[in-house]
């Protein structure tokens, strides 16, 4: 649980730092459409950083669902790396082919949310 709290907190730290960098360091230096792509990466990283923290806290409460919750957090982390990471790289390099990686991150996010729902369902039985 503490390890996932650390991962979530670091994800949130980097989402704030990367957001500030985008707002102050990239504005006017990259095209507006690429800045919007970058901001989407920050937005999704922030949402899923919070999700990692929430799931970590649920691990202490839903001990019978710890495995599902661990997989959910793993999916959120992989989703962040693939989805947000590919958007950051796309925005910074302009290499549009990197966008091909983004949907895999989206799938990982979706899987994480399904795993969280599964853990909740198992906890109601």
Q: What are the pLDDT digits (tens) for 54-91? A: 999 999 998 888 899 999 999 999 999 999 999 999 99
pLDDT, position 8: 98
Residue at 21 is within a domain: no
Residue at 25 is within a domain: no
Number of domains in the chain: 1
When pLDDT is cut at 50, 70 and 90, the band that residue 109 belongs to is very high
CA angle 3, 7, 9 (to 5 degrees): 115
Contact 85, 40 (CB under 8 A): no
Residue at 3 is within a domain: no
pLDDT, position 57: 95
pLDDT, position 28: 92
- pTM of this prediction? 0.94
Residue at 22 is within a domain: no
Residue at 82 is within a domain: yes
Task: Kindly report each contact of residues 32-38 with a partner whose C-beta sits within 8 Å and lies 24 or more positions away, as own/partner.
Answer: 34/90, 34/91, 34/94, 35/91, 37/87, 37/90, 37/91, 38/87, 38/88, 38/91, 38/92
User: In terms of residue numbers, what domain contains 98?
Assistant: 33-119
Residue at 78 is within a domain: yes
Can you read off the two tokens belonging to residue 14? Answer: 């980097």
Percent of the chain clearing pLDDT 90 (strictly above): 90
When pLDDT is cut at 50, 70 and 90, the band that residue 125 belongs to is confident
């Amino acid at each position: 649980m503490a390890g996932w709290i650390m991962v979530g907190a670091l994800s949130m730290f980097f989402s704030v730092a990367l957001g500030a960098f985008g707002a102050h360091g990239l504005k006017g230096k990259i095209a507006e459409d690429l800045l919007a792509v970058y901001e989407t990466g920050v937005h999704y990283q922030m949402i899923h950083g919070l999700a990692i923290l929430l799931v970590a806290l649920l691990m202490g409460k839903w001990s019978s669902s710890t495995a599902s919750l661990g997989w959910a957090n793993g999916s959120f982390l992989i989703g962040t790396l693939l989805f947000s990471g590919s958007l950051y790289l796309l925005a910074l390099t302009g290499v549009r082919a990197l966008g091909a990686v983004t949907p895999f991150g989206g799938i990982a996010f979706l899987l994480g949310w399904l795993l969280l729902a599964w853990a909740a369902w198992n906890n109601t039985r």
